[in-house]
Chains A and B, each alone.
Chain A
Amino acid sequence: MIELQHLSKRFLDNVVLDGVDLRVDDGQTVALLGPSGVGKSVLLKHIIGLIKPDSGDVIVDGLHVPLLRRKELAELRSHIGYVFQAGALFDSMSVYENIRLGITDETCYRDDGYCTDRVRECLRLVNLAPEVAQKFPAELSGGMRKRVSISRAIAGKPKYLLYDEPTSGLDPVNADVIDGLIERLQQEIGVTSVVVTHDVRGAFRVADRIALLWQAKIRAVGTSEEILQSKDPAVHQFLERDLEMAVIQSESDDGSHV
């Protein structure tokens, strides 16, 4: 279980998170919605201990993340897969080496046979051909890079998966493919996931619960039905604008194919 308690963070004068509470139960997928620059990625980085909060607590698997020592944090991180917004693939390494680094069990990591099989399995899970393993990140398209990034995140068989804008910068077709992938991984490997996104359609598709981060606070949390029925004007404003943008985008994509 992941639990954020009264989490606050500011960078100089900019309050990014102000007393945020959020709970993600085991096996659940929570989508964290919010406009760009609102602090969604900052919140996600708190979960994995890449950023320390000014106040409040982050509890993952019963462990208080801000209080963990370096070794304990490394141990916890080996159970968490993190998909970075821009992929963050190691550009001097091949896809194989990138995914292999995701195998966090040291005994398995040193076993070449296991690693080869595991890399092939992870590529299969994200619908990539085994030959992709020999390529370098610079040779891949944006969608493929995202999928390799997901492969690396799941290579260590994590208990938790954190996705930071998994569909940003992708065309609607590729975004759908990634959303489908998140859904399928959830069913196949049963991880607890947090998906940070500003894509409302994707969030409604993949998540069991949705949270809206608005002006440094969690403005609403609930199932997709509860969110849709919310009377909160901020929730309506965000959902309507984003859906409107999605319609405009899909119309312009249709037009470009004519």
Chain B
Amino acid sequence: MNGVPVALDLRRDVGRWSLRTAGHAGRFTFLLFDMVRGLTEWRIWLPRMVEQAVNTGYGSLFIVLLVSGFAGAVTSLQTGYQFTGQLPLYVAGGVIVESMILELGPVLSGLILAGRIGARYAAELGTMRVTEQIDALESLGRSPISHLLLPRVIAGLFVIPPLIMFADTFGVLVGWVTAKSTLGITDADFVYGARYFFRPLDLWYSLIKSYFFAATVTIIPCYIGYNTQQGAEGVGRSTTAAVVASCVTILLLDTVITKLLLG
């Protein structure tokens, strides 16, 4: 008896979800086109971009280094726990450097920045949307894309890859110091192991990932914040959605890029 209404509900839900997803895909694509078009208005976005870059870059440096430092230390300790007595000690140098550069530096920094920068962008733009500040900008004949979105996205693309490179370096240094003090590895062994396993592609791979992650933690929150609806609750929803969507996309991109470049 209840089978028909349940089936109808399911069809309706799937239909609504499909429409909503298609709507988001369309709006997101248009937003990307608008951003590319807005690049010509550099007089508007450039000064604001510098301001955003200083805020996001300088403001995120401490937390990114903190997280990568802990990651380096833990990697070092776990390497010692798993390999001591099984493999030569110099292997620890290779494991720590490769883990930090290939995975932990970019991904942990990306996730932290999704929370820090992504939440901030979504909340700022969402609040501007619900208080009609974005409408006001449009009513003045000015483009919200070049005034609000492009400075944030380009600032992110400028500062996040260097932040991730700093994170890689700092994580390796902390891992090295931890390995020396806990495993008793010598500097020469650590450097030998690091150089033995290192390939120049590793750095390129980390850099390429960092650009993709930078785009993710800026463009997705900007899109979600820009399309916020329904007051304070909407801003809260957008902020949460921006962080979750950015984190999931980072993990997804991590897999895809790894498969394409290293797989």
Contacts and interface: CB of A to CB of B under 8 A. Distances in A.
A46 interface: no
B131 A88 contact: yes
Interface stretch (A78-86, A186-194, A205-213, A249-257): A78-86
Interface stretch (B133-141, B184-192, B203-211): B133-141
Given A86-B132, A88-B133, A91-B133, A50 B140 contact: no
A78 B140 contact: yes
Contacts, number: 51
Nearest to B34: A70
Interface in A68-112: 73-78, 80, 82, 84-86, 88-91, 101-102, 104
B16 interface: no
B27 interface: no
Contacts of A88: 131-133, 135-136
A48 interface: yes
Contact of A101 (B128, B131, B142, B143): B142
B47 to A, nearest CB: 12
A73 B142 CA distance: 10
Interface string A166-189: 000000000000000000000000
A84 B141 contact: no
A104 B132 contact: no
Contact of B143 (A45, A50, A74): A74
A80 B131 contact: no
A53 interface: no
Nearest to A110: B43
A163 to B, nearest CB: 12
Interface string B208-242: 00000000000000000000000000000000000
B19 to A, nearest CB: 13
Interface in B87-138: 128, 131-133, 135-138
Contacts of B138: 50, 77
A101 B140 contact: yes
Interface string B54-74: 000000000000000000000
B135 A84 contact: yes
Nearest to A74: B141
A102 B132 contact: no
Question: Of residues B133, B141, B142, B143, which shows the largest number of chain A Cβ atoms within 10 Å of its Cβ?
Answer: B141
Contacts of A45: 135
Nearest to B135: A50
A156 interface: yes
B140 A84 contact: no
B24 to A, nearest CB: 18
Nearest to B143: A74
Question: Of residues A76, A84, A85, A152, which shows the largest number of chain B Cβ atoms within 10 Å of its Cβ?
Answer: A84
Contacts of A152: 136, 140
A90 B136 contact: yes
Contacts of A77: 138-141
A5 B96 CA distance: 71
A16 to B, nearest CB: 16
Contacts of A75: 141
A146 to B, nearest CB: 13
Interface of A: 45, 48, 50, 73-78, 80, 82, 84-86, 88-91, 101-102, 104, 152, 156
13 contacts: A45-B135, A50-B139, A73-B141, A74-B142, A76-B141, A90-B128, A90-B137, A91-B131, A91-B133, A101-B140, A101-B142, A104-B140, A104-B142
Which 9 pairs of residues, A with B, have the shortest CB-CB distance? A78-B141, A88-B136, A77-B141, A88-B132, A82-B139, A74-B141, A84-B132, A104-B141, A88-B133
